[in-house]
Structure 1
Amino acid sequence: MIEQKQQLEDAVNEALAIAKQLGVDQAEVALGKTSGISVNTRLGEVENIEFNHDGAMGISVYVNHCKGSASTADLSADAIKSSVKAAVDIAKYTSNDPYAGLLETDSLEDDPLDLDLYHPSSHSTTELLDIAKQCEDIALSSDERIVNSDGAGFNSHSSLKVYGNSHGFLHSYASSHHSLSCMLIGQDKDDMQRDYSYSSARDINDMFTPQWVAEQAVKRTVERLGAAKIKTQESPVIFAPEVASGLFGHLVGAISGSSIYKKSTFLLDRLDTQVFPEWMQISEKPHLHKGIASSPYDQEGGKTFKRNIIEDGVLQTYLLTGYAARKLNMPSTGHAGGIHNWFVKNSGLDLAGLLKEMGTGLFVTELMGQGVNMVTGDYSRGASGFWIENGVIAYPVHEITIAGNLKEMFMGIEAVASDIDPRSSLKTGSILINKMKIAGE
């Protein structure tokens, strides 16, 4: 992968040179190459082995604030030239947009950090299959209630990203990502349930062991057996880390630049106002070594900064690309392409302490459906998990719906536990919300 670095940077330079020859005002080129392997086993047999080697060059040009884009997977000189010409031709037919263009030069990263994101696997196909088989074998032999498997899989991929533009920016960085997963089926009498577990990391040596993944998959699956429905009511709700990260993901969407300038968010005009309880802190750390969402610069070449997103419950920033920043007459924030390692400050309680804090209520471990209105904040999703009584798990529950409004849910967060899920780019523990509507029987 690293050996390709100069070749890919040369291709980007060539595309930019052709764009300059054609007289465009501004041009940018993004080129990515990904290669890797995915293996899957089921019941001790190999289900599939898939190798992939993908890549494409994306070219955007700006002529009098009219944008044209084209792409090519062929990096020959003729193909690059044809693609740049195609982008220029397309720009002739697009509408003038005064906000279109490259990120301003003072916002570009001029000295990208090496964040130690590239750790390719040296494992052979046979070794990866053995890891998947080992994980599944441990799971299937751990509990007699595990009666079947949807398989185990190992994915190992590496990528190289190059970005250049006509402001003179040209940088690249390599990264890797590895994951192991196992999905099981459990049965107790007539009740059957399915659940899974996984591990992922930049460096294969930082992953949880196959035994850990197997044991977690077994635990999650058998704990679901015997699930019951509950009565329709209003009660406190705890979101487990896996689903709590998705809840804060709605915050990401609500404060993204496109949502703000389109006026399509429940957090419109809420900058510098309180949207969480006063004790809430959410920080962003883009430059963590080996971080799942670390990045030396964003997809426009913009600088990425350590910053507070929420401080003392107050919204500190929107998430702005260069385009959104110009539309809103604000500085760009380095978020073209998404967020970079968010951390939600916990309240000092472990999960057991959080359950005791709630006393009686619902502990949600899985959410279904997409019932979230980002304009109004109305929230309604299918859920399953556990009913809690006197601070301990009483029994599993399923086939329920939880509902509320994100504005009230955010302000109603009473505590965040310390049981952070390290596999997520948005790191949070379980969260306790004071009340939500639960639709059951």
Structure 2
Amino acid sequence: MQDGGTQWREVGSDLEEAADRALDLARRAGADGARVEVGHVESRTTTVRNRMPTERSLQLASAISLVVYRNGRRGATNSSDLSAAGLAGAVAAAMDIAAVTEVDPASGLAPNDLLAKDFIDLDLYHPLDLSLDAMLDDSRRAEEAAFAASPAIVTSNGASVNTSAGMSLLATSGGFSHSAPWSLHSISCTPVAAGANEKQMGFWSDGARAYADLDSPMEIGAQAAKRALSLLDGKQIATQTCPVLFEPTAAMSLLAEFVNAASGDALYRTGSFLTGRLDTLLFSEHIQVSEDPFVMRGMASRCFDSDGIAVSRRRVVEDGVLRGYFLGLYAARRLSMTPTGNGWGPHNLEVRSAQTGGADGIEAMLARLDRGLLVTEMVGGGVNRLTGDFSRAARGFWVENGQIRFPVTGITLASNLNAMFAGVRAVGADALTRGSFRTGSWLIDEMRIGGS
């Protein structure tokens, strides 16, 4: 276990005791195998809205997730009661569920040869040493920066500071057990700008393992206000086909669609347009998508997945060719494939282009777009994972001669993800990290824009 101080050593000891008790109770109840995830988290949140404090909260929570296996059947349950009686009740509930489920050959614990053996310190634990009053002051700073940006910022949907520190443990009846402390911090702001006959809401946030790594509250508030103000006085555009530039946060929505389609649940359960596509060209040939679970302080860094399977650095997309899926143990078994250590999802995915240079910031990307649409936000659903058909409402700006001319309203983007991925003409050097994704802006050569 990483050294998170005396407090977390004591918490870790309590979690290990709870996990050991749950595994022993499962064995005594007749389980062939069992897996437990147990954790404790301390969370604090402060929020101001229109200069008035609306939230000052402190929450402490412990929980256990238990899976038991018996005669090829699986039962699962969750509980927030880690007492002896609570654990006994959770085990009994899981065993009752297993008794009435169908036999599933894909269920069961991971074999020992796939389990993680090395547990390096990924520097994920940086608790925030601020009082609720000091956190509230940072919430105020973010909102005040938004109000200070322009008199047109007339109201606010709030500015928040969130911090969490916790300890998580995964253990199995096969002997795997590891725990580690972690922390997560974020600041967000949502101001509202008013025009002659409209209001537009802007949003900006940042998240990190260490509070010192976040953008300042003032930067976040100012950026949120800028986004709200920029959307005023929007115009409609005619329905047409044109190139589209997705700024990094919007490009991450497309990356998420790729991950969803390449994940085990879609591949074996609902079907995916990426089924059977391994080792075939999917993206433009200059595109690389890499996964690195070992990024120091990474928001999706870890040494093992939800089954204890070891993770690894890899190229998911290499020179545009799809080289791997995102498979946990169960999905891999259903697909008769090898698990990739993604039982908890992707690990710090980064999109790069071999053609990107250091000068390819947003201005250079706009110049490359020349005439078309800059997308800053997408809303709603509208993606068919089976076919890849894509249709989503969007907000953004019309660009002429590489310059932003005006915001656009009432538009829908339509295409197919196969065509969109293959049509990624460039990736910008304006990279952002949000959660498990890091990418710059994406320039796609052609999409259908539904307008007036």
TM-score, with length taken from structure 1: 0.98
Q: Quote the offset at 1:35 in angstroms.
A: 1.5
Question: Retained in 2: the 8 A contact 1:276–1:410?
Answer: yes
Aligned to 2:324: 317
Match of 1:421 among 416, 420, 432: 432
* Rounded Cα–Cα distance in structure 1 between residues aligned with 2:220 and 2:312: 34
Q: Aligned pair 1:149/2:156, yes or no?
A: yes
Aligned to 1:363: 374
Aligned partner of residue 184 in structure 1, secondary structure = strand
Letter in structure 2 aligned against 1:82: G
Q: Aligned pair 1:431/2:431, yes or no?
A: no
- 1:12-411 equivalence runs, <5 A: 12-262=19-269, 264-346=271-353, 347-348=356-357, 349-411=360-422
Q: Quote the offset at 1:89 in angstroms.
A: 2.4
In the alignment, structure 1 segments of 5+ residues that lack a partner are none
Aligned partner of residue 404 in structure 2, secondary structure = strand
Letter in structure 1 aligned against 2:319: D
Q: Quote the offset at 1:263 in angstroms.
A: 5.8
Aligned partner of residue 283 in structure 2, secondary structure = coil
Aligned partner of residue 434 in structure 2, secondary structure = coil
Q: Quote the offset at 1:81 in angstroms.
A: 2.0
* Rounded Cα–Cα distance in structure 2 between residues aligned with 1:424 and 1:258: 21
Question: Retained in 2: the 8 A contact 1:114–1:296?
Answer: no
Aligned partner of residue 141 in structure 1, secondary structure = helix
Question: Retained in 1: the 8 A contact 2:11–2:40?
Answer: no
Question: Retained in 1: the 8 A contact 2:68–2:98?
Answer: yes
Letter in structure 1 aligned against 2:340: T
* Rounded Cα–Cα distance in structure 1 between residues aligned with 2:93 and 2:160: 41
Letter in structure 1 aligned against 2:411: I
* Rounded Cα–Cα distance in structure 2 between residues aligned with 1:300 and 1:166: 12
Q: Quote the offset at 1:261 in angstroms.
A: 2.0
* Rounded Cα–Cα distance in structure 2 between residues aligned with 1:51 and 1:198: 21
Deviations 1:62-94 (A, max 9, x none): 111101122321111222123212222221111
* Rounded Cα–Cα distance in structure 2 between residues aligned with 1:170 and 1:310: 32
Gap change, CA 1:89 and 1:190, over 3 Å in 2: closer
Deviations 1:74-116 (A, max 9, x none): 1112221232122222211111011111112111112222111
Aligned length, in residue pairs: 441
Aligned to 1:440: 451
* Rounded Cα–Cα distance in structure 1 between residues aligned with 2:399 and 2:247: 13
Match of 1:6 among 5, 13, 37: 13
Question: Retained in 2: the 8 A contact 1:185–1:195?
Answer: yes
Aligned partner of residue 203 in structure 2, secondary structure = strand
TM-score, with length taken from structure 2: 0.95
* Rounded Cα–Cα distance in structure 1 between residues aligned with 2:266 and 2:143: 43
* Rounded Cα–Cα distance in structure 1 between residues aligned with 2:410 and 2:36: 48
Q: Quote the offset at 1:166 in angstroms.
A: 1.1
Aligned partner of residue 101 in structure 1, secondary structure = coil
How well do the aligned residues superpose, as a CA RMSD in angstroms?
1.2
Question: Retained in 1: the 8 A contact 2:149–2:226?
Answer: no
Q: Quote the offset at 1:239 in angstroms.
A: 0.7
* Rounded Cα–Cα distance in structure 1 between residues aligned with 2:149 and 2:89: 59
Gap change, CA 1:263 and 1:217, over 3 Å in 2: closer
Q: Quote the offset at 1:14 in angstroms.
A: 1.1
Question: Retained in 2: the 8 A contact 1:104–1:322?
Answer: no
